[in-house]
Amino acid sequence: MPVEPAVFLQEKSLNQGRRHLRERGPQPVLVVGGERDAEQLDYLAENRRRFGAGNLTIVAGEAPAALDGLPSPDAVFVGGSGGHLADIVSLSLDRIAPNGRLVANLVSLEHVGQLLALAAVRGWESEIVQISVARSTTTAGLTRLAALTPAFIVTLCPAGENRARDD
Instruction: Count the domains in the chain.
Output: 1
Q: Specify the CATH number for the domain of residue 102.
A: 3.40.50.150
Asked if the structure places residue 20 within a domain, the reply is: yes
Domain that holds residue 137: 8-158
> Could you say which residues of the chain have pLDDT below 70?
1-34, 161-167
Convert the pLDDT of each residue in 53-96 to its tens digit.
777 777 777 778 888 888 888 888 888 888 889 999 999 999 88
Specify the pTM. 0.75
Residues 6+ apart with CB under 8 A from 65: none
- Residue 148 confidence (pLDDT): 96
Q: Rounded to the nearest 10 degrees, what angle do helices 85-95 and 109-122 cross at?
A: 30
Asked if the structure places residue 40 within a domain, the reply is: yes
